[in-house]
Amino acid sequence: MKFLFPIICFLLNGCSTATFKSNAGIYAENKIRKSVVKRYTNYEVWKLGASQVGYVETQYCQKDIRDYKPSKEGLISDLKVKTQKLGGNALVFDSCLVNRSTASCNTHIQCNGMAYLITYNK
Using pLDDT thresholds of 50, 70 and 90, give the confidence band for residue 28.
Answer: low
Q: Is the pLDDT of residue 29 over 60?
A: no
> Which tens digit of pLDDT belongs to each residue from 63-104?
888 888 888 999 999 999 999 999 999 999 999 999 887 778
Q: Which CATH class is domain 37-122?
A: alpha beta
Q: Is the pLDDT of residue 8 over 80?
A: no
Q: In which order are the strands placed within the sheet that holds 51-62? A: 38-39, 90-100, 107-117, 51-62
110/116 Cα distance (integer angstroms)? 20
H or E segment and range at residue 73: helix 72-85
**CB neighbours of 43 closer than 8 A, spacing ≥ 6?**
none
**CB neighbours of 97 closer than 8 A, spacing ≥ 6?**
109, 110, 111
